[in-house]
Structure 1
Amino acid sequence: MPSYNYDEFSPDDYDFDTVEGPVVGQKAPDFELTTSDGRTKRLLDFEGDFLVLEIGSITCPLFQSRRGIMQPLQQEFPQISSAVLYVREAHPGVDIPGHQNFDDKLACATRLKSEDGETRTVFVDDFEGAAHLGYGSMPNAVFIIDRKGCVRFQAEWNNPSATRKALAALIAGKPVRVKSYFRPALPPIALKTLGRAGRGSAGDFFRGLPFLIWTNLIKRNLRLLFNQQQGARKSPGC
């Protein structure tokens, strides 16, 4: 991968076969980050019993498709905190290009709040993506982390229905048995998101689409169906 902040999307920018971030039973990495409103705060300094952390950017069709279910979780489960880690643009175009500096990333995160109406706390990763890389570098992963900083649920691709069921089980003190199958972005939201990013965004996305369908919709879901574990990088356990 030549550069973390790419100008054109390619499937080669991601490793779809290895779980690079922390998995269930491992410690979640903590980072001191800037929020979209300019505060400095530690990622794992949260209120409540659990933190639901979703990875995203305004040019990610998957993230934009999930927000309608993910945002209300904190109202439904008031004993949790919910946040977004804003990372590199998943599908940059001429109107929303890849970030050239931290201010570009902060500006896009601010647009997520002001234009898209995001209600969750938005943490802005640094320019080189230290936190994103620490959490596996996927464009729309999700983690549920407890007060001790332990990962209790994790999915490389957020399936909001599965995330909600996992959260409900954890709050009830029950084991999490849900499988987080990959689900594509809603087509109207995907087209709107890519169009907003501008020329180049949709073209790069559709060129990579056959590979993405094979690796995620087919291969990954079959792996989950038959309980086959992906290779995972070792990190400190809880």
Structure 2
Amino acid sequence: MNSYNYDEFSTGDYDFDTEVGPSVGDKAPDFELTTATGETKNLLDFSGEFLVLEMGSITCPLFQSRRGIMQPLAQTDGASSAVLYVREAHPGADIQSHKSFDDKMGCAVRLTCEDGETRTVFVDGLEGKAHAAYGSMPNAVFIINKGGCVAYRADWNNPTATRKALQALLAGRAVTSKPYFRPALPTTVFRTLGNAGKGSAADFLKGLPFLFWTNIIKRNLRLLFNRPKSGSKHTTC
């Protein structure tokens, strides 16, 4: 099986210290992908001034906990919003790692039909090429302007910071919000991992001390003392 679609979550599956993928001012990678509704579309073929693109999967507690704030962004004047469906963050006995594209499509359809996701859901290929191009983090977010340039990015989506960044970009202001890492509510964590089935929660809890140190402490301290890059609708790449 492709190692990209791991059967058991491990902190070694991700690079938590290095920014990988397009930064602010870089060209956003474009891909022709299938959506959860069966359409074939280009990722960067959007109608608004900006596209808010979030990485996610149904076994990612962070993604599941952000959807209530992220989905309404699609109704913001001048903004489009979409999800790139990636590998399962915490596979278990009931929602396993993807062995085929049909497996992945099935999970994306479940996200829309059972979980009620209303944004356009692009389904990445089994090999995760689009996900890799955007850095491979499980719940990263990018805001991309009509020129196809990244105007904002966060390795971990903080939906409040993302919303403020979008509002600033639409108003022509510099982005000042910092995407501090915010953990998901425990109720969302255990509901999501419980739905994934046996093994999912155990693997997550095993890595929890490392995740706490790396993201809540180290990452947030770096953000506190560093100024984020700021893009705009006029950013060129």
- TM-score category, normalised to shorter length: over 0.9
Aligned to 2:63: 63
1:108-161, Cα deviation, whole Å (9 max, x unpaired): 000000000000000000000000000000000000000000000000000000
Aligned to 2:82: 83
Residue 194 of structure 1 and its aligned partner are, at CA, apart by 0.2
Provide the rounded CA distance (Å) in 1 between the counterparts of 2:36 and 2:131.
Answer: 16
Provide the rounded CA distance (Å) in 2 between the counterparts of 1:193 and 1:141.
Answer: 18
1:54-104, Cα deviation, whole Å (9 max, x unpaired): 0000000000000000001122x1211100000000000000000001000
Aligned to 2:12: 12
Aligned to 1:106: 105
| SS class of match (1:138) | coil
Gaps of 5+ in 1: 230-236
Could you tell me which amino acid in structure 2 is paired with residue 175 of structure 1?
Answer: A
> Residues 130-209 of structure 1: matches in 2 within 5 Å?
130-209=129-208
| SS class of match (1:133) | helix
Distance 1:228 1:73, change over 3 A: closer
Return the TM-score normalized by structure 1.
Answer: 0.95
Distance 1:57 1:97, change over 3 A: same
Aligned residues: 229
Could you tell me which amino acid in structure 2 is paired with residue 79 of structure 1?
Answer: G
Aligned to 1:72: 72
Residue 177 of structure 1 and its aligned partner are, at CA, apart by 1.1
Residue 190 of structure 1 and its aligned partner are, at CA, apart by 0.7
1:206-236, Cα deviation, whole Å (9 max, x unpaired): 000000000000000001111188xxxxxxx
Gaps of 5+ in 2: 229-235
| SS class of match (2:37) | coil
Provide the rounded CA distance (Å) in 2 between the counterparts of 1:220 and 1:228.
Answer: 13
Task: Give RMSD over aligned pairs.
Answer: 1.1
| SS class of match (1:9) | coil
| SS class of match (1:144) | strand
| SS class of match (2:55) | strand
Provide the rounded CA distance (Å) in 2 between the counterparts of 1:202 and 1:132.
Answer: 24
1:22-50, Cα deviation, whole Å (9 max, x unpaired): 11011100000000011110000011100
Aligned to 1:92: 91
Aligned-residue sequence identity (percent) comes to 72
Could you tell me which amino acid in structure 1 is paired with residue 106 of structure 2?
Answer: A
Residue 183 of structure 1 and its aligned partner are, at CA, apart by 0.3
Aligned to 1:32: 32
